[in-house]
Amino acid sequence: MAVVAGLGNQYLLQDISFAVFAGDRIGLIGASGSGKTTLLRLLNRLSDPSTGQITYQNQSLATWPISPLRQQIMLVPQEPKLLGMTVEENLCYPLILQKLNPEIIQARVALWRARIGIDDNWLPLTELQLSLGQRQLVCLARACVCEPKIVLLDEPTSALDPGTIQRVAEVLQAHSATLIIASHQFGFLQQVLDQHQPRHRILYLEQGRLLQDQPITTINWQDIQQKLVQQALGEQEQWH
């Protein structure tokens, strides 16, 4: 799919090719620095590949206007930002840009606030007044209210407690969008991806290369965990 230039002749991603179809659920796993975030950034054009091509709806991603593309392919980053707005402004703003009727905006925001658990008390607050976990929930709700066709999630539950993770997993299970989720939390991925659904799958990245593209029905989680431990040990040895 893409090769992304890094420093000098080094590449952040290399020799990666895979297809995504409507309704797919994909877990993206790998050690820190394996290229998961870079890959997600490519998929909604926060970065562009130096060579290779990404296509969406049979059209090169590079030819899509940025705003319409990001309304359809939305990234929820690991470090959530509220862009100087209050929580309420954050949830409404992308729908205002779409010029939706105010009643539709309020109804959709209310729906996703209830599903994700955005308390009324949060609405006037800015990101400086919220915890990291609260900001993650707000950014997830902001993506969901837009009803994009594809949601890209980068470690969306890294700062959440187990009960909230469970609620987020249930919300994503019921979501109709195509999902690509980068996460170190295997339990969370197992909750969101259907263990009996062959179209739900795992992509395993290591040092910028795609080593596995496998249906979740055939995944050996112990084997994946062992690979990650071995990779981390290998990186520690290189530092020493």
Quote the pLDDT of residue 234.
72
Instruction: Tell me if residue 192 falls in helix, strand or coil.
Output: helix
Give the residues of the chain that fall short of pLDDT 50. Answer: 1-8
Quote the pLDDT of residue 5.
40
* Cα–Cα dist 71/94, whole Å: 9
Quote the pLDDT of residue 240.
58
Specify the amino acid at residue 161. D
Quote the pLDDT of residue 9.
55
Superfamily per CATH, domain 2-82+132-239:
P-loop containing nucleotide triphosphate hydrolases (3.40.50.300)
Quote the pLDDT of residue 232.
75
Quote the pLDDT of residue 50.
86
**Residues 87 and 122 sit within 8 Å (Cβ to Cβ):** yes
- pTM exceeds 0.75: yes
Quote the pLDDT of residue 238.
67
Closest of 94, 131, 85 to residue 112, by C-alpha: 94
Residue listed under structure tokens 């590079």: 62
The torsion region of residue 15 among left (phi > 0), alpha (psi -120 to 50) and beta comes to left
* Cα–Cα dist 136/185, whole Å: 15
Quote the pLDDT of residue 1.
38
